[in-house]
Structure 1
Amino acid sequence: MTDRNLLFACLAVLTLGLGAPVAAQSSEPRPGSPPGTCIVTRVDGPAIVSARGAGARPAEIGLGLGRNAKLRTRAGARVTLACAGGLEVVVGPDSEVDVVGLLDGGSRPLGLRLIDGIAGFLFASEDDHGVQVRTPSAVAAVRSTQWAMQVDRRASAIFTREGTVFVVTRSGDTRLGPGEGVDVARSGRLRPVTRWGQPRIDRLGALLGPDW
């Protein structure tokens, strides 16, 4: 998928409504299931995985998050996920993430929702399939890059460490390059793109820990 197509896909998701509810399914991986799941590879501190019909259980290494499963981390906790398409997701403390599943008719990219808190995203190679991440105020689409997203009281902040990130809101869209970040108000209003200073980058890194 090209970067331009990723942006158009984001706009389509935005049209359907930011933060639209999705039905939950079992978090247990099933043999022969499509590569739309994430697997827990590291757990530091208390975190819960839940899915409708399957209840809730503590996050543990090897646990799979199927389509529309939810992960919640508590204060001081971090969880690392290995997801479809060579994507690694580091979920920081006091965070809530939904695995939406594969988009574009079940092909690619992977869709996630960051309801609250912070998450960092890393791809293993330039051939990976990409990811779209929705928050209550923005949609971000990327392919083969390293970046992070934070949500606080429905406002969003997006930072790109490497590569390019497209950000789409109800008020417009923008593109972030390496070292750049943008804040999005809870209304969806985009603030100007800026180069983040090292203190803010360090605060982001401290929340996400060594995996990011």
Structure 2
Amino acid sequence: DKGLVLPPSISPEEAVIVPIYKNDTKAAVLTYADAVSAQLKAAGVRVVVDSDDSSSPGWKFAEWEMRGTPLRIEIGPRDMQAEKLVLARRDTGEKKIVPVAEAVSIAKEILADIQKSLYEKAKAFRLEHTQNVADLPGLLEYFGAEGMGTADAHGGFARALWCGSLACEADLKTKTKATLRCLPLGDQEGIEGSCAVCGAPAKHRALFARNY
């Protein structure tokens, strides 16, 4: 476990530039890094240059991974001389050497891909851990009496019809420790049938889950 993996849209910094230098190359590499940073900022990318001399590049790599920063940019003397830099993704660990002239456009493409990839991964995980449940016996089996059901192995949501009664929700909580989590906005059409908890006419399609 290397720490957080944050989507670019909510990460405080979308990218971090880690300059790699020795005493005789420090000034030139930092100037190069600041120029790259300015280009990224002008393109709307939230970026920071980590020029802290108290930590080694390897330490900085690990620290920014722990923070979950989506994109790491590595710049050393050889990169500067070749007018290139290294882009490293937090989500996959993939590294790519790119020309500095194309760094901004490629960095933005990678950030967009990270955002999409993490969204699709989270969506797939949610769908995999959501089970349709038709009635109270099904809810009791899924969550278990007093919370000892099949959902315990992995956690998850029960998607079920609900009458809208708070008393009904409280009854389910008493029996299973599960509570209402949300009424999915895009999942409220064509509701026909009975509440999975009490059997009354259903008004909503709801997601129920337990705290873990």
Instruction: Name the structure where strand makes up a greater proportion of residues.
Output: 1
Query: Normalised by the shorter chain, which TM-score bucket?
Result: under 0.3
Q: Which structure would you say has the larger Rg?
A: 2
